[in-house]
Every structure is written in structure tokens, then in C-alpha cells.
Amino acid sequence: MKYTLIVKDAPYQSQAADTACRFAHALIAEGHELAQVFFYFEGVFNAVANAEPPQDDRHVINNWTKLALENELELVVCSTAAQRRGVAKPLATGFRLDTLGRLVEAVSLSDRVITFGS
């Protein structure tokens, strides 16, 4: 089955981004395909390159980067939402800016679309 995930919360705003990342790992482990992970609204903060959480906290952004690099996964950041929030550049490794049109393409190719966050 082919999935598209939409992440709408910042990495430390709620558990949504962390849960989405773990869900993506589980999908891949079970043999499913991820068409795309799309970061929208506050979710664009998952792509901030210079984020440094405390040492004893999880590093959600690094977890996304690792997932993308290990699985050649497409992590797409909404360019308009990023621009509005000052998150245009530099982006963390594995993330790239694109438009909502790219999300529409992924959704049209997917069997399931799951949204994480409010």
C-alpha cells in the first residue's frame, strides 16, 4: 500500500511529528511505500537545520533526516508556509521546499493519506 503523510505540528509542539516519524519507520518496515511526507503549517519547523534540543531530549529533526537518507524518502516542506514562518533556508538534510501542488500529486498516487497534528 502507498501512503502520504502530512505533518502539521512543530517537532516539540506536540507528539505529532515524533509519532509521524515512528509511523513512517513502521510503514517501511512492514513493506509499505511512502510516496511523500509533507510538512505544512507549523510542521515546517521540522526542517530547521540549526535546531538543537537539550541532550536528554529526542532530536526529531535528526530522526527525519536519518529516515530520509536511509530510505530515499521525499521530505517536502510547503514553501509558502515556510516563507511565512521564516523557515526558508537553510533546511536540514533530506528536506526540500515545494508547493502544495507537489502534495496534490503525491495524494493522487497514494492509497492512504494520514495527517499528524492539528
Q: What's the pLDDT tens digit per position in 24-66?
A: 999 999 999 999 999 999 999 999 998 777 776 678 999 999 9
Burial class from Cβ neighbours inside 10 Å (0-12, 13-18, 19+) for residue 50 reads exposed
pTM: predicted TM-score of the whole model, two decimal places: 0.95
- What are the domain boundaries of the chain? 2-116
Q: What's the pLDDT tens digit per position in 58-109?
A: 789 999 999 999 999 989 999 999 999 999 789 999 999 999 999 999 999 9
**CB-based contacts of 70: which residues, under 8 Å, 6+ apart?**
none
Backbone phi, psi, residue 39, to 5°: -105, 120
CATH number of 2-116: 3.40.1260.10
Would you please indicate which residues are annotated as catalytic (active-site) residues?
Answer: 78
